[in-house]
Chain A
Protein backbone atom coordinates (compact mmCIF):
# COMPACT_ATOMS: atom_id res chain seq x y z
CA UNK A 1 0.00 0.00 0.00
CA UNK A 2 1.27 3.42 -0.97
CA UNK A 3 -1.24 5.39 1.08
CA UNK A 4 1.43 7.68 2.51
CA UNK A 5 1.53 9.34 -0.92
CA UNK A 6 -2.24 9.90 -1.09
CA UNK A 7 -3.55 13.40 -1.80
CA UNK A 8 -4.87 15.41 1.12
CA UNK A 9 -8.11 16.43 -0.61
CA UNK A 10 -10.02 14.87 -3.52
CA UNK A 11 -13.11 16.23 -5.18
CA UNK A 12 -15.02 15.17 -8.30
CA UNK A 13 -16.33 17.97 -10.46
CA UNK A 14 -18.37 16.84 -13.46
CA UNK A 15 -16.16 14.30 -15.23
CA UNK A 16 -12.78 15.16 -13.67
CA UNK A 17 -11.16 14.73 -10.29
CA UNK A 18 -9.25 17.56 -8.64
CA UNK A 19 -6.65 16.49 -6.06
CA UNK A 20 -4.73 18.69 -3.64
CA UNK A 21 -1.41 18.01 -1.90
CA UNK A 22 -0.58 19.92 1.25
CA UNK A 23 3.21 19.63 1.15
CA UNK A 24 3.61 21.25 -2.26
CA UNK A 25 0.26 23.13 -2.45
CA UNK A 26 -0.15 21.58 -5.90
CA UNK A 27 -3.42 20.70 -7.60
CA UNK A 28 -3.78 17.79 -10.04
CA UNK A 29 -6.67 17.47 -12.46
CA UNK A 30 -7.35 13.92 -13.66
CA UNK A 31 -9.81 12.18 -15.94
CA UNK A 32 -11.78 9.28 -14.48
CA UNK A 33 -9.36 6.76 -16.08
CA UNK A 34 -6.29 8.47 -14.66
CA UNK A 35 -7.92 8.72 -11.25
CA UNK A 36 -8.64 4.96 -11.31
CA UNK A 37 -4.96 4.37 -12.12
CA UNK A 38 -3.90 6.55 -9.19
CA UNK A 39 -6.24 4.74 -6.82
CA UNK A 40 -4.88 1.42 -8.05
CA UNK A 41 -1.35 2.63 -7.34
CA UNK A 42 -2.26 3.75 -3.82
CA UNK A 43 -3.84 0.44 -2.85
CA UNK A 44 -1.20 -1.80 -4.52
CA UNK A 45 1.49 -3.19 -2.29
CA UNK A 46 4.01 -3.40 -5.14
CA UNK A 47 4.39 -3.13 -8.91
CA UNK A 48 3.25 -6.72 -9.46
CA UNK A 49 -0.07 -6.22 -7.72
CA UNK A 50 -0.48 -2.94 -9.66
CA UNK A 51 0.07 -4.78 -12.97
CA UNK A 52 -2.35 -7.54 -11.93
CA UNK A 53 -5.02 -4.94 -11.20
CA UNK A 54 -4.40 -3.04 -14.47
CA UNK A 55 -6.48 -5.22 -16.76
CA UNK A 56 -6.93 -2.59 -19.47
CA UNK A 57 -3.22 -2.07 -20.08
CA UNK A 58 -0.39 -4.26 -21.31
CA UNK A 59 2.34 -5.23 -18.84
CA UNK A 60 4.75 -2.84 -20.54
CA UNK A 61 2.28 0.06 -20.39
CA UNK A 62 1.45 -0.75 -16.78
CA UNK A 63 5.13 -0.58 -15.84
CA UNK A 64 5.45 2.85 -17.46
CA UNK A 65 2.26 4.06 -15.83
CA UNK A 66 3.35 2.78 -12.41
CA UNK A 67 6.67 4.63 -12.68
CA UNK A 68 4.95 7.85 -13.74
CA UNK A 69 2.36 7.74 -10.97
CA UNK A 70 5.13 7.20 -8.43
CA UNK A 71 7.14 10.08 -9.87
CA UNK A 72 4.06 12.31 -9.90
CA UNK A 73 3.13 11.59 -6.29
CA UNK A 74 6.69 12.10 -5.11
CA UNK A 75 6.78 15.45 -6.96
CA UNK A 76 3.51 16.44 -5.29
CA UNK A 77 4.94 15.62 -1.88
CA UNK A 78 8.07 17.71 -2.30
CA UNK A 79 7.82 20.37 0.33
CA UNK A 80 8.04 23.91 -0.97
CA UNK A 81 10.53 25.71 1.23
CA UNK A 82 10.06 29.45 1.32
CA UNK A 83 13.01 31.31 2.74
CA UNK A 84 11.94 33.63 5.55
CA UNK A 85 12.81 37.25 4.90
CA UNK A 86 15.45 38.98 6.99
CA UNK A 87 13.80 41.17 9.57
CA UNK A 88 14.38 44.91 9.15
CA UNK A 89 13.61 47.79 11.44
CA UNK A 90 11.98 51.01 10.34
CA UNK A 91 14.37 53.93 10.34
CA UNK A 92 13.25 57.44 11.12
CA UNK A 93 12.94 59.81 8.23
CA UNK A 94 11.23 63.12 7.73
CA UNK A 95 10.90 62.74 3.99
CA UNK A 96 7.88 60.47 3.81
CA UNK A 97 5.29 61.13 1.16
CA UNK A 98 2.22 60.46 3.30
CA UNK A 99 -1.27 59.69 2.02
CA UNK A 100 -4.42 59.01 3.98
CA UNK A 101 -7.14 56.85 2.45
CA UNK A 102 -10.74 56.36 3.54
CA UNK A 103 -11.71 52.82 2.58
CA UNK A 104 -15.37 52.29 3.41
CA UNK A 105 -14.97 54.25 6.64
CA UNK A 106 -11.66 52.65 7.64
CA UNK A 107 -8.89 55.25 7.65
CA UNK A 108 -5.41 54.06 6.65
CA UNK A 109 -2.21 56.05 6.37
CA UNK A 110 0.49 55.00 3.93
CA UNK A 111 3.95 56.57 4.00
CA UNK A 112 5.99 56.20 0.84
CA UNK A 113 9.75 56.76 0.94
CA UNK A 114 9.92 58.13 -2.60
CA UNK A 115 7.84 59.15 -5.58
CA UNK A 116 8.81 55.96 -7.37
CA UNK A 117 7.54 53.83 -4.52
CA UNK A 118 4.38 55.92 -4.34
CA UNK A 119 3.73 55.19 -8.03
CA UNK A 120 3.49 51.47 -7.23
CA UNK A 121 0.47 51.84 -4.97
CA UNK A 122 -1.03 55.30 -4.76
CA UNK A 123 -2.47 55.67 -8.25
CA UNK A 124 -4.81 52.75 -7.64
CA UNK A 125 -6.15 54.38 -4.48
CA UNK A 126 -5.94 58.08 -5.34
CA UNK A 127 -9.75 58.26 -5.58
CA UNK A 128 -9.93 57.27 -1.88
CA UNK A 129 -7.50 59.90 -0.66
CA UNK A 130 -8.77 61.97 2.23
CA UNK A 131 -6.86 65.00 3.39
CA UNK A 132 -9.13 65.85 6.34
CA UNK A 133 -8.86 62.72 8.48
CA UNK A 134 -6.04 62.75 11.01
CA UNK A 135 -6.81 59.62 13.05
CA UNK A 136 -6.13 56.34 11.30
CA UNK A 137 -6.66 52.67 12.14
CA UNK A 138 -3.37 51.44 10.73
CA UNK A 139 -0.23 52.93 9.26
CA UNK A 140 2.01 51.51 6.55
CA UNK A 141 5.54 52.47 5.56
CA UNK A 142 7.11 51.39 2.29
CA UNK A 143 10.80 51.97 1.77
CA UNK A 144 13.66 50.80 -0.45
CA UNK A 145 16.50 49.47 1.69
CA UNK A 146 19.34 47.09 0.92
CA UNK A 147 18.07 47.15 -2.65
CA UNK A 148 14.78 45.61 -1.55
CA UNK A 149 11.32 47.02 -1.01
CA UNK A 150 10.40 46.78 2.66
CA UNK A 151 6.81 46.88 3.90
CA UNK A 152 5.97 47.81 7.48
CA UNK A 153 2.54 47.81 9.13
CA UNK A 154 2.26 49.76 12.36
CA UNK A 155 6.08 49.83 12.29
CA UNK A 156 6.34 46.03 12.25
CA UNK A 157 8.22 44.59 9.29
CA UNK A 158 5.93 42.38 7.22
CA UNK A 159 7.83 41.73 4.01
CA UNK A 160 10.91 42.21 1.80
CA UNK A 161 10.65 42.13 -1.97
CA UNK A 162 13.16 42.45 -4.80
CA UNK A 163 12.63 45.64 -6.79
CA UNK A 164 11.72 43.70 -9.90
CA UNK A 165 9.09 41.80 -7.87
CA UNK A 166 7.16 44.90 -6.91
CA UNK A 167 3.95 43.02 -7.83
CA UNK A 168 4.58 40.85 -4.75
CA UNK A 169 4.78 43.99 -2.59
CA UNK A 170 1.47 45.11 -4.14
CA UNK A 171 -0.04 41.72 -3.32
CA UNK A 172 1.15 41.73 0.28
CA UNK A 173 -0.03 45.31 0.74
CA UNK A 174 -3.43 44.34 -0.71
CA UNK A 175 -3.83 41.47 1.73
CA UNK A 176 -2.78 43.62 4.69
CA UNK A 177 -5.18 46.36 3.57
CA UNK A 178 -8.03 43.83 3.30
CA UNK A 179 -7.25 42.43 6.75
CA UNK A 180 -7.49 45.96 8.19
CA UNK A 181 -10.67 46.91 6.37
CA UNK A 182 -12.50 43.65 7.10
CA UNK A 183 -11.06 42.81 10.55
CA UNK A 184 -9.63 39.52 9.31
CA UNK A 185 -6.31 37.68 9.27
CA UNK A 186 -4.47 36.27 6.26
CA UNK A 187 -5.62 32.80 7.34
CA UNK A 188 -9.24 33.87 6.80
CA UNK A 189 -8.68 34.21 3.06
CA UNK A 190 -9.24 31.37 0.63
CA UNK A 191 -7.17 33.16 -1.99
CA UNK A 192 -6.59 36.20 -4.15
CA UNK A 193 -7.31 35.55 -7.78
CA UNK A 194 -5.83 37.25 -10.83
CA UNK A 195 -9.33 38.22 -11.92
CA UNK A 196 -11.72 41.11 -12.17
CA UNK A 197 -15.21 40.83 -10.74
CA UNK A 198 -18.50 42.54 -11.58
CA UNK A 199 -21.89 42.08 -9.98
CA UNK A 200 -25.51 43.09 -9.77
CA UNK A 201 -27.17 43.36 -6.33
CA UNK A 202 -27.42 39.58 -5.92
CA UNK A 203 -24.42 37.81 -7.39
CA UNK A 204 -20.97 38.32 -8.82
CA UNK A 205 -19.22 37.04 -11.93
CA UNK A 206 -15.45 36.62 -11.97
CA UNK A 207 -13.57 37.44 -15.17
CA UNK A 208 -10.30 35.66 -15.78
CA UNK A 209 -7.79 35.57 -18.61
CA UNK A 210 -4.15 36.17 -19.27
CA UNK A 211 -2.78 39.72 -19.07
CA UNK A 212 -3.91 41.59 -22.17
CA UNK A 213 -7.01 39.44 -22.65
CA UNK A 214 -9.24 42.42 -21.91
CA UNK A 215 -10.45 41.70 -18.36
CA UNK A 216 -10.08 45.27 -17.10
CA UNK A 217 -11.47 46.83 -20.27
CA UNK A 218 -14.46 44.50 -20.14
CA UNK A 219 -14.98 45.38 -16.46
CA UNK A 220 -15.04 49.06 -17.37
CA UNK A 221 -17.49 48.42 -20.24
CA UNK A 222 -19.80 46.48 -17.91
CA UNK A 223 -19.47 49.10 -15.16
CA UNK A 224 -20.49 51.79 -17.65
CA UNK A 225 -23.62 49.69 -18.35
CA UNK A 226 -24.62 49.74 -14.67
CA UNK A 227 -22.94 46.65 -13.23
CA UNK A 228 -21.02 47.02 -9.98
CA UNK A 229 -17.26 46.81 -10.08
CA UNK A 230 -16.30 44.54 -7.18
CA UNK A 231 -12.61 44.14 -7.99
CA UNK A 232 -10.18 44.78 -10.82
CA UNK A 233 -7.34 42.37 -11.50
CA UNK A 234 -7.19 41.24 -7.85
CA UNK A 235 -10.19 39.37 -6.52
CA UNK A 236 -10.02 38.31 -2.86
CA UNK A 237 -12.24 35.47 -1.63
CA UNK A 238 -13.01 34.74 2.03
CA UNK A 239 -12.65 31.08 2.94
CA UNK A 240 -15.53 30.20 5.26
CA UNK A 241 -18.24 32.03 3.32
CA UNK A 242 -16.56 31.63 -0.07
CA UNK A 243 -17.69 35.15 -0.86
CA UNK A 244 -15.84 37.78 -2.85
CA UNK A 245 -14.85 40.87 -0.96
CA UNK A 246 -14.88 44.25 -2.63
CA UNK A 247 -11.33 45.42 -3.40
CA UNK A 248 -11.56 49.16 -3.96
CA UNK A 249 -8.63 49.85 -6.28
CA UNK A 250 -9.25 51.79 -9.49
CA UNK A 251 -9.59 49.94 -12.80
CA UNK A 252 -6.24 50.07 -14.60
CA UNK A 253 -6.62 50.55 -18.33
CA UNK A 254 -3.64 50.20 -20.64
CA UNK A 255 -3.06 52.56 -23.55
CA UNK A 256 -4.42 50.15 -26.17
CA UNK A 257 -7.91 50.52 -24.70
CA UNK A 258 -7.93 54.30 -24.13
CA UNK A 259 -10.19 54.95 -27.14
CA UNK A 260 -12.84 52.49 -25.90
CA UNK A 261 -12.73 53.97 -22.41
CA UNK A 262 -12.94 57.56 -23.61
CA UNK A 263 -16.18 56.70 -25.41
CA UNK A 264 -17.64 55.34 -22.15
CA UNK A 265 -16.38 57.75 -19.49
CA UNK A 266 -15.89 61.46 -19.78
CA UNK A 267 -14.54 62.93 -16.60
CA UNK A 268 -14.05 60.44 -13.78
CA UNK A 269 -10.65 59.15 -14.73
CA UNK A 270 -7.17 60.54 -14.91
CA UNK A 271 -4.20 59.69 -17.05
CA UNK A 272 -0.89 58.98 -15.38
CA UNK A 273 1.78 59.21 -18.00
CA UNK A 274 4.82 56.95 -17.95
CA UNK A 275 6.79 56.12 -14.82
CA UNK A 276 4.01 53.76 -13.98
CA UNK A 277 5.73 50.38 -14.29
CA UNK A 278 3.30 49.53 -17.08
CA UNK A 279 3.74 52.73 -19.04
CA UNK A 280 0.70 54.87 -19.73
CA UNK A 281 -2.20 53.76 -17.59
CA UNK A 282 -5.60 55.30 -17.18
CA UNK A 283 -7.24 54.73 -13.80
CA UNK A 284 -11.04 54.57 -13.68
CA UNK A 285 -12.75 55.16 -10.35
CA UNK A 286 -14.72 52.01 -9.47
CA UNK A 287 -18.48 52.24 -8.95
CA UNK A 288 -20.08 49.70 -6.64
CA UNK A 289 -23.67 50.46 -5.63
CA UNK A 290 -23.91 47.25 -3.64
CA UNK A 291 -23.73 48.16 0.03
CA UNK A 292 -22.81 44.69 1.27
CA UNK A 293 -19.11 44.03 1.70
CA UNK A 294 -19.21 40.47 0.40
CA UNK A 295 -21.00 38.79 -2.47
CA UNK A 296 -21.42 35.21 -3.70
CA UNK A 297 -20.00 34.15 -7.05
CA UNK A 298 -20.89 30.95 -8.88
CA UNK A 299 -19.91 31.91 -12.41
CA UNK A 300 -16.40 32.37 -13.81
CA UNK A 301 -15.86 33.64 -17.34
CA UNK A 302 -12.66 33.17 -19.32
CA UNK A 303 -12.35 36.36 -21.38
CA UNK A 304 -10.93 36.64 -24.91
CA UNK A 305 -11.13 39.91 -26.77
CA UNK A 306 -10.81 39.20 -30.50
CA UNK A 307 -11.10 41.95 -33.06
CA UNK A 308 -14.15 41.55 -35.34
CA UNK A 309 -15.14 38.28 -33.65
CA UNK A 310 -18.77 37.33 -33.11
CA UNK A 311 -19.75 37.48 -29.47
CA UNK A 312 -20.09 34.01 -27.99
CA UNK A 313 -20.48 32.84 -24.41
CA UNK A 314 -20.34 29.10 -23.90
CA UNK A 315 -19.81 26.70 -21.06
CA UNK A 316 -16.25 25.43 -20.96
CA UNK A 317 -14.50 22.52 -19.27
CA UNK A 318 -13.15 22.96 -15.76
CA UNK A 319 -9.69 21.84 -16.84
CA UNK A 320 -9.40 24.64 -19.41
CA UNK A 321 -10.43 27.19 -16.85
CA UNK A 322 -8.31 25.90 -13.96
CA UNK A 323 -5.29 25.88 -16.26
CA UNK A 324 -5.59 29.70 -16.39
CA UNK A 325 -6.98 30.36 -12.92
CA UNK A 326 -4.68 28.44 -10.60
CA UNK A 327 -1.14 29.27 -11.86
CA UNK A 328 -1.95 32.99 -11.87
CA UNK A 329 -3.50 33.16 -8.39
CA UNK A 330 -2.60 32.81 -4.77
CA UNK A 331 -4.60 30.06 -3.09
CA UNK A 332 -4.14 29.63 0.62
CA UNK A 333 -1.96 26.58 1.45
CA UNK A 334 -3.87 26.01 4.72
CA UNK A 335 -5.61 22.60 4.39
CA UNK A 336 -8.97 23.90 5.61
CA UNK A 337 -8.86 26.74 3.07
CA UNK A 338 -7.82 24.43 0.23
CA UNK A 339 -10.89 22.31 1.07
CA UNK A 340 -13.06 25.45 0.97
CA UNK A 341 -11.57 26.28 -2.44
CA UNK A 342 -12.44 22.86 -3.84
CA UNK A 343 -15.91 23.06 -2.34
CA UNK A 344 -16.38 26.47 -3.95
CA UNK A 345 -15.20 25.18 -7.35
CA UNK A 346 -17.91 22.53 -7.23
CA UNK A 347 -20.56 25.22 -7.20
CA UNK A 348 -19.11 27.19 -10.11
CA UNK A 349 -20.23 27.14 -13.73
CA UNK A 350 -17.39 27.92 -16.13
CA UNK A 351 -17.81 29.92 -19.32
CA UNK A 352 -15.63 31.15 -22.15
CA UNK A 353 -16.41 34.51 -23.74
CA UNK A 354 -15.17 35.74 -27.11
CA UNK A 355 -16.17 39.28 -27.94
CA UNK A 356 -15.45 42.41 -29.89
CA UNK A 357 -18.70 44.38 -29.69
CA UNK A 358 -19.50 46.29 -26.48
CA UNK A 359 -23.29 46.26 -26.87
CA UNK A 360 -23.41 42.53 -27.54
CA UNK A 361 -21.19 41.70 -24.58
CA UNK A 362 -23.34 43.81 -22.24
CA UNK A 363 -26.44 41.87 -23.36
CA UNK A 364 -24.66 38.58 -22.73
CA UNK A 365 -23.83 39.59 -19.16
CA UNK A 366 -27.32 40.93 -18.48
CA UNK A 367 -28.68 37.54 -19.53
CA UNK A 368 -26.06 35.63 -17.55
CA UNK A 369 -26.81 37.54 -14.36
CA UNK A 370 -30.59 37.18 -14.80
CA UNK A 371 -30.11 33.42 -15.07
Chain B
Protein backbone atom coordinates (compact mmCIF):
# COMPACT_ATOMS: atom_id res chain seq x y z
CA UNK B 1 0.00 0.00 0.00
CA UNK B 2 1.53 3.32 -0.93
CA UNK B 3 1.52 6.39 1.27
CA UNK B 4 -0.93 8.30 -0.81
CA UNK B 5 -3.45 5.49 -0.43
CA UNK B 6 -2.93 5.52 3.32
CA UNK B 7 -3.38 9.27 3.33
CA UNK B 8 -6.55 8.98 1.28
CA UNK B 9 -7.96 6.29 3.52
CA UNK B 10 -7.44 8.54 6.51
CA UNK B 11 -9.10 11.34 4.61
CA UNK B 12 -12.06 9.13 3.75
CA UNK B 13 -12.33 8.02 7.37
CA UNK B 14 -12.27 11.65 8.42
CA UNK B 15 -14.81 12.43 5.76
CA UNK B 16 -17.13 9.70 7.01
CA UNK B 17 -16.72 10.98 10.56
CA UNK B 18 -17.50 14.46 9.33
CA UNK B 19 -20.51 13.23 7.42
CA UNK B 20 -21.71 11.58 10.65
CA UNK B 21 -21.18 14.84 12.47
CA UNK B 22 -23.25 16.62 9.83
CA UNK B 23 -25.68 13.79 9.01
CA UNK B 24 -28.72 16.05 8.81
CA UNK B 25 -27.11 18.49 6.36
CA UNK B 26 -25.66 15.63 4.29
CA UNK B 27 -29.14 14.14 4.03
CA UNK B 28 -30.50 17.41 2.61
CA UNK B 29 -28.06 17.65 -0.33
CA UNK B 30 -24.50 18.40 -1.43
CA UNK B 31 -22.32 19.30 1.54
CA UNK B 32 -18.51 19.40 1.52
CA UNK B 33 -15.94 21.01 3.81
CA UNK B 34 -12.61 21.49 2.04
CA UNK B 35 -9.34 22.83 3.46
CA UNK B 36 -6.43 23.77 1.21
CA UNK B 37 -2.90 22.99 2.41
CA UNK B 38 -1.42 25.73 4.60
CA UNK B 39 1.59 26.19 2.32
CA UNK B 40 2.72 25.44 -1.21
CA UNK B 41 4.19 21.98 -1.51
CA UNK B 42 5.80 19.59 -3.94
CA UNK B 43 4.31 16.19 -4.54
CA UNK B 44 4.02 14.49 -1.12
CA UNK B 45 6.45 11.63 -0.44
CA UNK B 46 5.49 8.02 -1.12
CA UNK B 47 5.66 6.23 2.22
CA UNK B 48 6.75 3.09 0.47
CA UNK B 49 9.54 4.97 -1.29
CA UNK B 50 13.18 5.30 -0.34
CA UNK B 51 14.06 7.16 2.82
CA UNK B 52 16.83 9.42 1.60
CA UNK B 53 17.92 10.37 5.10
CA UNK B 54 19.04 6.84 6.05
Contact with B along A187-213 (1 / 0, CB 8 A): 000011010000000000000001110
Of residues 27 through 54 on chain B, the ones whose CB sits less than 8 Å from some CB of chain A are: 28-46, 49-53
Q: Which B residues are in CB contact (< 8 Å) with A29?
A: 30-32, 34
The residue of chain A having its C-beta at the shortest distance from the C-beta of B43 within the complex is A233
**Per-residue CB proximity of A26-65 to B under 8 Å, as 1/0?**
1111111110010000000000000000000000010011
State the CA gap A109–B21 with chains docked (Å). 50
Docked Cα-Cα span, A68 to B33, in Å, equals 13
Encode contact with B along A347-365: 1 for CB under 8 Å, 0 otherwise.
0000000000000000000
Contact in complex: A34, B32 (CB < 8 Å): no
Binds B, one of A171-179, A217-225, A290-298: A171-179
Q: Is A166's CB within 8 Å of the partner chain B?
A: yes
Choose one: A171, A192, A234, A278; the contact of B49 (CB below 8 Å).
A278
Chain A CB count within 10 A is highest, among B21, B24, B41, for: B41
Instruction: Evaluate whether A279 and B46 lie within 8 angstroms (CB atoms) in the complex, with A37-B25, A327-B11 already known.
Output: yes
Bound complex: CA of A329 vs CA of B41, how far in Å? 8
Number of interface residues of B (CB under 8 A): 33
Instruction: Give Cα distance in the complex from A211 to B4, angstroms.
Output: 7
Which of A88-96, A304-312, A318-326 has 4 or more CB atoms under 8 Å from chain B?
A318-326
Q: CA of A111 to CA of B11 in the docked complex: distance in angstroms?
A: 37
A119-B52, A171-B39, A330-B40 known; A33 vs B28 contact (CB < 8 Å): yes
Cβ distance B6 to chain A, nearest Cβ, rounded Å: 12
Residues of B within 8 A of A32 (CB): 29
**Distance (whole angstroms) from the CB of B9 to the closest CB of chain A:** 12
Residues from chain A with a CB closer than 8 A to the CB of B45 are 164, 166-167, 277-278
Known: A30-B29, A275-B50. Is A326-B36 also a contact (CB below 8 A)? yes
A340–B30 alpha-carbon span in the complex (Å): 23
Taking each of A25, A68, A172, A275, which has the highest tally of chain B beta carbons within 10 Å of its own beta carbon? Answer: A68
Q: Which residues of A contact B49 (CB under 8 A)?
A: 277-279
A331: chain B residues within 8 A (beta carbon): 36
Chain A neighbourhood of B8, CB < 8 A: 210
Contact B42 A167, beta carbon cutoff 8 Å? yes
Q: Is the CB of A26 within 8 A of B41?
A: no
Closest CB of chain A to B38's CB: distance in Å?
A: 6
Closest partner residue, chain B, to A254 (CB atom)? B46
A16 and B39 contacting across the interface, CB-CB below 8 Å: no
Please report the C-alpha to C-alpha distance between residue A191 and residue B34 in the assembled complex, in whole angstroms. 15
Task: Determine how close the nearest CB of chain B comes to the CB of A23; give it in whole angstroms.
Answer: 12
A 254-275 binary contact with B (CB < 8 Å = 1; else 0):
0000000000000000000011
Given contacts A29-B30, A30-B29, A65-B24, contact A327 B35 (CB under 8 A): yes
Of chain B, the residue at the smallest CB distance from A329 is B36
Contact A31 B42, beta carbon cutoff 8 Å: no
- Name the residue of chain A whose CB is nearest to the CB of B40: A171
Residues in B whose Cβ lies below 8 Å from that of A329 = 36-37
Q: Given A167-B42, A327-B37, 12 more contacts at CB 8 Å?
A: A29-B30, A29-B31, A34-B25, A64-B23, A65-B28, A164-B45, A166-B42, A170-B42, A211-B43, A279-B49, A279-B50, A330-B40
Residues of B at under 8 Å CB distance from A? 2, 4, 8, 11, 21-25, 28-46, 49-53
Top 7 closest pairs, chain A to chain B, by CB: A31-B29, A170-B42, A171-B40, A171-B41, A31-B30, A326-B34, A331-B36
What are 26 sample pairs from A and B whose C-beta atoms fall under 8 A apart?
A28-B31, A28-B32, A29-B30, A32-B29, A34-B30, A37-B25, A65-B25, A68-B23, A68-B25, A72-B25, A120-B52, A164-B45, A167-B41, A167-B44, A167-B45, A168-B39, A174-B40, A192-B40, A194-B41, A210-B8, A211-B2, A233-B43, A276-B50, A278-B45, A330-B40, A330-B41
